[in-house]
Amino acid sequence: MPRKGHRGECHSRIDSVMMILRDAIRINAPPEKIFEWLRNLDTNYRDWHQDHVKWEFYGGLREGSECYCEELMHGKLHRMKGRIVKLRENRYVEYRFSFPTSLICPGGTFAIEPDGSNSTFVATLSFRLGGVLSRLAKKRMDSVEDHMREEGLNLKRILE
């Protein structure tokens, strides 16, 4: 369901035990510009959202490279390691988190859908929170959804 005041869409979907959060926003920039910004996430990460602390690529933005990030969530500093598992230049990045983060959040994606000289940027995060757990964690999932929406709006502001 779209969020009020957001020019894109932000919603969640539950498939059995997986909850997928998705945020999409139209950006007046070609896919190449957005992808180049992602390629430099190690220097752009803190500008993307006020809760972002640090991002490091080990081997650059390419399939198989490892990454590390620090982010404030729910008032706590979270440190997460992961790996880029799928990449299509100027279109798609899929990453998987390492243990212990992967127990709750296995990973996510960034997709860039071209539309003429513009693009739609789509971010997803998957959570193992189906059924009862998704209801118990509703407040936290709502804050993650808000965070993703803010990231989309900030990226639009930065790149336009």
- Per-residue pLDDT tens digits for 66-102: 999 999 988 889 999 999 999 999 999 999 999 998 8
Burial class (CB in 10 A: 0-12, 13-18, 19+), 112: buried
Q: How far apart are CA 44 and CA 42, in angstroms?
A: 6
**pLDDT at residue 3, rounded to an integer:** 47
Locate 121 and state its tokens.
């940027």
Residue pair 61/38 in contact (Cβ under 8 Å)? The answer is yes
More confident residue, 122 or 140: 122
Q: Would you say residue 9 has pLDDT above 60? A: no
Quick check: 152 and 42 in contact, CB under 8 A? no
Banded pLDDT at 139 (limits 50, 70, 90): confident
CATH number of 9-155: 3.30.530.20
| Domain boundaries, given as residue ranges, for the chain | 9-155
Contact between residue 124 and residue 112 where contact means Cβ atoms under 8 Å apart: no
Cβ atoms of 51 and 68 closer than 8 Å: no
| Assigned token pair, 73 | 């969530």
Read off the pLDDT band of 141 (50, 70, 90).
Answer: confident
